[in-house]
Structure 1
Amino acid sequence: MTTSLHQRSLVADTHNDLLMAVAARPPAQWSAFFRERWLPQLLDGGVNLQVLPVFIDDGYRPEGSLRQTLRMIEAAHVLAEGNQEHVRLCRDAAEIDAALDAGRIALVLAMESMPGLDASVELISTLHRLGVRVASLAHWGRTPLADGSGEDATGSGLTSDGVAALREMERLGIVFDISHLGASGVAHVLELATKPLIATHSAARALRDHHRNLTDEQLRGVAATGGVVCVNFFAGFLHEREHEATLDHLLDHIEHVAEVAGIDHVGMGPDFVREVITELTPPCCEHSYGLDPTAAVPGLDGPAGLPMVTEGLLGRGLPDKDVQKIIGGNVHRLLTELLA
């Protein structure tokens, strides 16, 4: 049951891949599919602010990346237009707060690794015109802009085009996301960034030694920019035996980030992929990352389980005001500051 604190708090999720599932349908079904399949889960979870990443699966890369990117952005606009009584696609702080004040879910578009742009940094402005307000430069592998964490052995920072992309994002007002970026790339960004950063879905490497997680030094670095680290709920990033991951493991990661980075610099980036991947991946195939995407913390395989996190944090003795910062207050502050 949803706690009263959860009900009266602003709840923000900075990474849900639901657009992949929406865009897989014929366009005529986009609005209804979102309304029937995903909206009830968001409402049950008390989500008020939802970042929607555009992620392009390997099957579209490289030739179809840009087309699928545009298709997913269009899907976001269409589902928002078709469900105006419940959601609003927001471009700035005023629109976010207007949506929240009207009791609607504020949706914010994000790009995960900017697929399809190649090294054409000038097209970041095009993405901004289309409503993108959060973006990262890499996923698991190499892009013309940077290396993902799966390529950490290269020791590579941002390319010259990647540096130009960071500067362009800061100029336009697109929040820079370090999740998935390689370790040397994160260090490079921390040297160059002039605005607060976000990690939309990254857990603590001190508790689970996986390249997708952030070290304590990186956590402190993001906090020093004024940014927020949003903890990933993906079971394989919480515990090395992913099918044994529990709510307590997740809470451990959240508390660790809060202790290292500070209570004002932690949020939630659940990365709810179980339903999406189960639906879109043929049963014949194994996931290429070596982790089981269907493994989930019991009760936390989708947005409806989010009140469990609030209850768990309260059960550990955290004060109400700190819990409210973690479950959404910090992310809301960051986005409204940077998208002012």
Structure 2
Amino acid sequence: MKSMKGLSNNRRQGNVAPQRSKHRTFSPRDDAQEYRARFILKFIFYLGLAATAAFYIAREWGNNRGIYAQLWSLHTHYALLTRVNPANEKMLFSVETSLDRAYRLLKFAPIIDTHNDLPFKVELLTGGGNLSAMDLYNLPKEWYQTDIVRLKQGRVGALFYSAYVDCYNYTWQTDNLKKTLEQIDLVKRIIAKYPHEFEFATSTTDIKRITSTGKIASLIGLEGGHQIDASMGTLRMMYDLGVRYMTLTHSCATAWADSSNPPFVHDGLGPDGAKFIYEMNRLGIMVDLSHVSHKVMDQTIRTSAAPVIFSHSSVFAITNHTRNVPDDILQLVKEKDGVVMINFYKEYVRGVEDVGDAVGMGRVVEHMLHVKNLIGARHLGMGADYDGDIVPVDGLEDVSKYPILIASLLEHGFTDDEIVGVTGGNLLRVFEKVEKVAHAMQQAHKPIEEMGMDVAKRCPDTQPERRAGLTNKGC
């Protein structure tokens, strides 16, 4: 390699230095230095270009973010329309109707209904819950209000199946516990028969994960405290089986709480009522007040460490029915940050001017508006009570009709955020709080060691009761 000194001597002597060509004659060190210099210059240039672009994008976003939001809304609207019905692609540049808007919101916030009685209806019509000959994709519409096709049409993302058995005088000998276990078994067999459509869920984390896959998260609620037979141990086993809410009573009193139907045995909660509520809080079972007396509603909300739910109730101020929630109780629900899931049953939502069966969807909307105006839309949800041997209001005949109700709510002034809460966000918020309370209580407290209440049982004492099969064989 020639030195710089040698190169200078050549120039003084008139020698011509080597010319640069594609066949480079520089040393490796010179080549590396030139490469680094070029790299640094390019890096500075592109960094400046990126910074300039970022500055202008940020400024334009700040000035025009409303336009960008509308464009994104239009994009999601287009995706939904073409997914639901490709023939509707021509609607892309048309005005978004309330139903279009409902479908767009339900794509990202599907329905969570806290009360569906499909297992009860299946057991009733098959005489024991035989699924072998049933096609749950398409069930007869004259008999069933729920099937898989209509659940998909209704944009349902999660469903609490009610495990329900009839209740009678809590001092009678019955087989309620056996029948309850059979109902839970039926729910799990439905889920197992259709694994591509349903998945069993026991937590808010499960619900979010399952709905994100397009499946329907399937949970269990007990529709009456009579189904644990005043047993703390049975309550704990129900939690282990997947039960995540329990209605404190159904249409008759339990050994520890009064129903909404007389006679009122305990004048509210019985002496042991608070213990059962405490253990539900500690386990993480949501306390449901849908069938209890107004006194039990008041006492339970004040007793419970966690928010409560009404899994399928309506508003007393509009429909004077003992099953419905009075305004003073609604105020307590707000204080506790609970949620009222509005029922679609005609008898629970009808107005004083409604005659016969003429009860329309507008009555359900009226109940929802009352709750919204009194305590806020964050305390609203849906517990339709489909397939509970009820007659739903006109316009909401089955589970496919939820989008129509959402569209009506939008027309009555509900915002997008409020709708996302009503479709399921509010229930998830309450459920998460119940889970957090349970976690804290489990860290601080042990289970109640009592096994429950010792209730003296007797055989039903009239012949009609015996013929109805309400007794054990020992009676």
Cα gap change, 1:31/1:307 in structure 2, threshold over 3 Å: closer, same or farther? farther
CA contact under 8 A between 2:256 and 2:266: conserved in structure 1? no
Match of 2:297 among 177, 186, 195: 186
TM-score by length of 2: 0.64
Alpha-carbon distance in 2 for matches of 1:185, 1:59: 19
Check if 1:263 corresponds to 2:377.
yes
Q: Distance in 2 between matches of 1:319 and 1:31?
A: 44
Q: Show the counterpart of 1:316.
A: 412
Partner of 1:298: 394
Deviation at 1:10, TM superposition (A): 2.3
Aligned partners of 1:23 and 1:30 also within 8 Å: no
CA 1:153–1:117 in 2, change beyond 3 Å: closer, same or farther? closer
Unmatched tracts of structure 2, length 5 or more: 1-98, 140-146, 437-475
After superposition, residues 34-183 of structure 1 pair within 5 angstroms as 34-37=136-139, 38-57=147-166, 63-151=174-262, 156-183=267-294
Counterparts in 2 of 1:209 and 1:30: CA distance versus 1, 3 Å: farther
Partner-residue secondary structure (3-state), 1:185: helix
Aligned 8 A contact 2:163 2:183 in 1: yes
Contact 2:112 2:382 in 1 (8 A): yes
Give matches, 1:223-262, under 5 Å: 223-239=334-350, 240=352, 241=354, 243-262=357-376
Q: How far off its partner does 1:249 sit? A: 1.1
Distance 1:110 1:53 in 2: 5
RMSD: 2.2
Partner of residue 281, structure 1 = none
**Could you tell me whether the CA contact under 8 Å between 2:113 and 2:384 is conserved in 1?**
yes
Residue 109 of structure 2: aligned partner: 9
Residue-by-residue CA offset, 1:160-188 (whole Å, 9 max, x unaligned): 33221111100100000011111111111
What residue identity is the alignment partner of 2:191?
Answer: A
CA distance in 2, matches of 1:31, 1:96: 29
Deviation at 1:109, TM superposition (A): 0.6
1:30 positional shift: 6.2
What amino acid maps onto 1:253 in structure 2?
A: H
Question: Shift of the alpha carbon at 1:328?
Answer: 1.7
* Residue deviations 1:34-78 (CA, integer Å, cap 9, x gap): 444322221111110111111113599852211110000001111
Shift of the alpha carbon at 1:335?
Answer: 2.2
The offset of 1:5, in angstroms, is: 2.6
2: CA distance, partners of 1:16 / 1:335: 18
Contact kept? 2:204, 2:431, Cα under 8 Å: yes
Letter in 1 for 2:210: A
Contact between 2:168 and 2:252, CA under 8 Å: does it hold in 1?
no
The 3-state SS of whatever aligns with 1:306 is helix
- State the AA in 1 paired with 2:424: G
Superposed CA deviations along residues 186-217 of structure 1, whole A, max 9, x for unmatched, are: 11102211101101111111111111110111
Q: Which residue of 1 aligns with 2:460?
A: none
CA distance in 1, matches of 2:129, 2:320: 41
* Cα pair 2:167 2:250 within 8 Å, conserved: no
Give the percent of matched residue pairs that are identical in Structure 1 and Structure 2: 26
In 2 relative to 1, CA 95–6 (structure 1 residues): closer, same or farther, beyond 3 Å? closer
User: In the alignment, what sits opposite 2:122?
Assistant: 22
Distance change in 2, residues 1:306/1:62 (3 Å) = farther
**Cα distance change, pair 148–322 in 1 and its aligned pair in 2 (3 A):** same
Moved over 6 A (4+): none
Asked if 1:208 corresponds to 2:310, the answer is no
CA distance, structure 2, for counterparts of residue 63 and residue 154 of structure 1: 19
TM, length-normalised to structure 1:
0.88
Deviations 1:252-287 (A, max 9, x none): 1001111222121111111123xx52xxxxxxxxxx
Residue aligning to 2:462: none
Residue type at the aligned position of 2:131: Q
1:145 is displaced (CA, Å) by 2.2
Question: Contact 1:113/1:136 (CA < 8 Å) preserved in 2?
Answer: yes
Secondary structure of residue in 1 paired with 2:225: coil
Residues 140-172 of structure 1: CA deviation (Å, up to 9, x unaligned): 221112111112766712113322111110010
1:223 and 1:332 mapped to 2: Cα distance?
16
AA in 1 matched with 2:178: R
Q: Matches of 2:184 and 2:433 in 1, distance apart? A: 24
* Superposed displacement of residue 318, structure 1: 1.8
Greater Rg, structure 1 or structure 2? 2
Query: Partners of 1:30 and 1:55 in 2: how far apart?
Result: 21
What is the CA-CA distance between 1:115 and the residue it aligns to? 3.0
User: How many angstroms does 1:122 deviate by?
Assistant: 1.9
Q: For residues 184 and 152 of structure 1, do their structure 2 counterparts lie closer, same or farther at Cα, with a shift above 3 Å needed?
A: farther
Q: CA 1:153 to 1:27, structure 2 compared with 1: closer, same or farther past 3 Å?
A: closer
Cα 1:337/1:39, change in 2 over 3 Å: farther
Secondary structure of the 2:228 match is coil
Kept in 1: contact 2:199–2:210 (CA 8 A):
yes
Higher relative contact order (CA 8 A, sep 6+): 1
**In 2, distance between residues paired with 1:115 and 1:96?**
28
Q: Secondary structure of 1:133's match?
A: strand
Judge conservation of contact 1:51–1:108 (CA < 8 Å) in 2: yes
Among candidates 429, 453, 469, match of residue 333 of structure 1? 429
